[in-house]
Amino acid sequence: MAAGKPVVMVTLVSSDGQSFQLLEEAALLSAMVRDTIQIGQGRGPAGIPIRNITGQTLSMVVVYCNKHYTAAAAADGDDAADEEKKVANKKQLREWDEQFINLEQDKLYDILVAANNLGIDGLVDLCCWRFADMMKGKSASEIRVKLGIRDDFTSEQRAQIEKDSPWVWSRTT
Amino acid sequence: MGQSPSSPLLAKSSSSSASPPRRRSLSSSFPMAPPRTTRTTVQVAGTGAGGGGATAFTAPPPERDLTQDLPDEILTLVFASLSPAERNACSLTCARWKEVAAALPSQRLARLKLRGLRQLSDDGLASLARATPAIRKLSVSSCSFGPKAFVAVLRSCPLLEDLSVKRLRGLPDTAGAATTITEEILFPPASLLRSVCLKDLYSALCFVPLVASSPNLRSLKILRCSGAWDLPLEVIVARAHGLVELHLEKLQVGDRGLAAVSACANLEVLFLVKTPECTDAGIIGVADKCHNCANYILTGGAQIGLGIMASWLWQKDAQTCKSSSLLGSTPRCRASECLVNTAVPWSVSPFVVVRLLAMLRSFAWLSAVLHSRNFASRVAQSQILGWGH
């Protein structure tokens, strides 16, 4: 894949001090890393400190980046390959994504926040999809329980909603 | 968008100055999103309290709020892939979600179709337009507001590209009076407006200033609108030179209007359907001046014979004219002879597509055409459909 090019590694350091090494190209999936490297930082041995993201979450993000980098590199490598193979590869990657993101809400939330902070669009979309999938077919109270949201409607707001659209409470709460 | 105080979008900017804000268009699909699958859920025995749905949870409720650190943009992304009913449920979970979910549809609404809203007034449409600044395509039919409402629409929706108006009731009665096009409705310039369709209007003439104030208009369709359209066409063409497609159907438009149309140098498609006042001379005038015009579709003009097409082809148009359709015309007998006799242009333009629809009254006629000077081999494609009786 990266035949002629020198292999450049980047170190990401999580908030709790764990460090992860990965190929620079893989790390470049993150807009934040891209910008950091562009201004000439982060290549040193100290690595790039990622605040607010724990080692556990970062490890998942790194797995995602590696996988997607490898898949993209493979697709680039045999660009002359037939369409069918490409479609199959894409499908495979999608299945992998699906497996990867099949997490409980806690971890999913951490990864989503991390992906947003790091600016990894693909991962954000994936997490959003999973989040939405989680909420499908649930009532408001069920969503509240699942995501630990506090019901902060005041009684006036509640009355207002009831007045504006009396049907919604009965159907969805 | 309401940013709840607890939601630290700020934390993001402090943690990584380089992290990009998520301001992508929401219409973008999720490229990585896997197809929806049925997930197996583990039934937790003995938690009957929450009802059927609650028992399906595979994990205990979380200790913390799992949404507070999500910026509104992310929430919007999540909501975007939910159905309206599910979004309703979401907007009832807490105040912040309600705000985000409520802001969702209107702010990014790009296409709006209003049909049969008899109670909607000018003011109503104006306030609707204010809430939907991103509209690109607006289609109204059988509503009761008047042309003044569109002033507000054009003002509030600068992105409007496509406007379609059908069967409006609130329009002032200006039928037949060509002078009313100077009526003082000041439409703001709509620089992005590219396509306008006016259909079944008693007083479409009051939209002429609107059309004329769209310098980048490319496609104009006026169908079954009353009034004399010769003068309005002159006004429109004088300001909107860039017309590429013009569709006139059942209009009171004559050769004067066509002469105005011929000033559109970029005209590529001209539909003339049931415009009985147009004569051969008018259409030949257009054909002479609009060299880019590659598609002519003429239907049912009493005075337009097949001779017209023959004349174009005979003249300079043969090279550019790619498709000419005469649908349901009533060609006079002479016209067919004309076509037979214009075999020379066929050889000049091998790409001509000729569609003769429902106009062929006799087989003999056709065979005469086909046998004339290798017609069939020269014409790249000829579709002969819908035989006459």
Residue of B nearest to A41 (CA): B18
Q: Is the ipTM of this complex over 0.90?
A: no
Residues present in chain B in total: 389
Give how far A102 is from chain B: nearest CA, Å: 9
- At A4 the pLDDT is 56
pLDDT reading at A160 higher than 70: yes
Specify which residues B323 forms β-bridges with.
B295, B353
Residue range B42-68: mean pLDDT, rounded: 49
pLDDT reading at A135 higher than 60: yes
Asked whether the beta carbons of residue A31 and residue B19 sit closer than 8 angstroms, the reply is: yes
Residue range B116-127: mean pLDDT, rounded: 84
By mean pLDDT, which of B211-215, B274-278, B305-309 is the weakest?
B305-309
Specify which residues A20 forms β-bridges with.
A12
Three-class DSSP category at B271? strand
- Greater confidence (B364 vs B87) lies with B87
Give how far A121 is from chain B: nearest CA, Å: 9
Asked whether the beta carbons of residue B18 and residue A119 sit closer than 8 angstroms, the reply is: yes
- At B27 the pLDDT is 36
Residue B64 is nearest to which of A125, A139, A148, comparing CB atoms?
A148
Question: pLDDT grade, residue A123 (50/70/90)?
Answer: very high
Q: Is B265 an interface residue toward A (CB < 8 Å)?
A: no
- At B267 the pLDDT is 83
- Greater confidence (B41 vs A97) lies with A97
Asked whether the beta carbons of residue B12 and residue A116 sit closer than 8 angstroms, the reply is: yes
Asked whether the beta carbons of residue A172 and residue B15 sit closer than 8 angstroms, the reply is: no
Residue range B64-83: mean pLDDT, rounded: 79
Average pLDDT over all residues of chain A: 83
pLDDT reading at B363 higher than 80: no
CA distances from residue A106 to A17, A51, A121, A137, B197 in whole angstroms, order as listed: 21, 18, 20, 20, 52
Give how far B128 is from chain A: nearest CA, Å: 17
Give the integer Cα–Cα distance in Å for A130 and B78.
Answer: 9
Question: pLDDT grade, residue B96 (50/70/90)?
Answer: confident
Average pLDDT over all residues of chain B: 65
- At A153 the pLDDT is 82
Asked whether the beta carbons of residue A172 and residue B88 sit closer than 8 angstroms, the reply is: yes
Residue of A nearest to B38 (CA): A133
Give the H/E segment covering residue A20: strand A19-23
Give how far B21 is from chain A: nearest CA, Å: 8
pLDDT reading at B54 higher than 80: no
* DSSP one-letter string for B10-35: HHHHHH-TTPPP----TTS--TTPPP
Per-residue burial over B100-131, b if 16 or more Cβ lie within 10 Å, else e, is bbebbeeebbeebebeebeebebebbbebbee
Q: In what order do the strands lie in the sheet with B269-273?
A: B111-115, B137-141, B162-166, B195-199, B219-223, B245-249, B269-273, B295-299, B323-327, B353-357, B381-385
Q: Is B33 an interface residue toward A (CB < 8 Å)?
A: yes
pLDDT reading at A19 higher than 80: yes
Residue B180: name the closest of B209, B201, B153 by CA: B209
- At A168 the pLDDT is 60
3-state helix vs strand vs coil in chain B, percent to 5:
35, 15, 50
Question: pLDDT grade, residue B177 (50/70/90)?
Answer: very low
Q: Is B25 an interface residue toward A (CB < 8 Å)?
A: no
Phi and psi at residue A16, to the nearest 5°: -100, 25
Question: pLDDT grade, residue B315 (50/70/90)?
Answer: very low
Which of A38, A116, A173 best probes binding to B when mutated, by most B CB atoms within 10 angstroms? A116
By mean pLDDT, which of A66-70, B5-9, B86-90, B196-200 is the weakest?
B5-9
Q: What angle do CA A112, A138, A136 make, to 5 degrees?
A: 55
- Residue B259's Cβ-side half-sphere holds a number of Cα atoms within 13 Å equal to 7
Question: pLDDT grade, residue B109 (50/70/90)?
Answer: confident
Please report, rounded to a whole number, the percentage of residues in chain B having pLDDT higher than 70.
52
Specify which residues B115 forms β-bridges with.
B141
Mention every residue, 6+ apart, whose C-beta is less than 8 A from residue B207. Answer: B147, B150, B165, B196, B198, B201
Asked whether the beta carbons of residue B32 and residue A150 sit closer than 8 angstroms, the reply is: no
- At B250 the pLDDT is 86
Residue B105 tokens read as: 């549809």
pLDDT reading at B162 higher than 90: yes
The two most distant CA atoms of chain B are separated, in Å, by 92
CB atoms within 10 A of CB B191: 12
Give the integer Cα–Cα distance in Å for A110 and B116.
Answer: 48
AA letter at B71: P
- Greater confidence (B106 vs A58) lies with A58
Asked whether the beta carbons of residue B59 and residue A112 sit closer than 8 angstroms, the reply is: no
- Residue B112's Cβ-side half-sphere holds a number of Cα atoms within 13 Å equal to 25
CA distances from residue B232 to A31, B172, B222, B354 in whole angstroms, order as listed: 54, 17, 11, 32
Q: Of the segments B82-91, B314-323, B374-383, which one has the largest average pLDDT value?
A: B82-91
Give the integer Cα–Cα distance in Å for B225 and B168.
Answer: 11
Question: pLDDT grade, residue B296 (50/70/90)?
Answer: low
Q: Is B52 an interface residue toward A (CB < 8 Å)?
A: no
Per CB-CB distance under 8 Å, the chain B contacts of A97 are 32, 34
pLDDT reading at A73 higher than 80: yes
Q: Is B9 an interface residue toward A (CB < 8 Å)?
A: no
Q: What residue ranges define each of the domains in chain A, with the CATH number in brackets?
A: 9-134 (3.30.710.10), 137-173 (no CATH)
- At A67 the pLDDT is 92
Give the integer Cα–Cα distance in Å for B326 and B270.
Answer: 12
- At A126 the pLDDT is 92
pLDDT reading at B301 higher than 80: no
- At B171 the pLDDT is 60
Residue of B nearest to A173 (CA): B89
Give the integer Cα–Cα distance in Å for B99 and A94.
Answer: 33
pLDDT reading at B51 higher than 60: no
- Is residue B137 within 8 A of residue B112, CB to CB? The reply is yes
Per CB-CB distance under 8 Å, the chain B contacts of A147 are 62, 65-67, 93
Please report, rounded to a whole number, the percentage of residues in chain A having pLDDT higher than 70.
89
pTM of the prediction?
A: 0.49
pLDDT reading at B133 higher than 50: yes
Handedness of CA B158, B159, B161, B164 (dihedral sign): negative
Residue A126 is nearest to which of B32, B58, B82, comparing CB atoms?
B32
pLDDT reading at A23 higher than 60: yes
Handedness of CA A140, A145, A149, A154 (dihedral sign): positive
Q: E-strand spans in chain B?
A: 111-115, 137-141, 162-166, 195-199, 219-223, 245-249, 269-273, 295-299, 323-327, 353-357, 381-385
B192-219 pLDDT tens trace = 899 999 998 877 788 888 888 888 899 9
Question: pLDDT grade, residue A146 (50/70/90)?
Answer: confident
Question: pLDDT grade, residue A164 (50/70/90)?
Answer: confident
Q: Is B19 an interface residue toward A (CB < 8 Å)?
A: yes
Which of A123, A139, A160 best probes binding to B when mutated, by most B CB atoms within 10 angstroms? A139
Q: Is B5 an interface residue toward A (CB < 8 Å)?
A: no
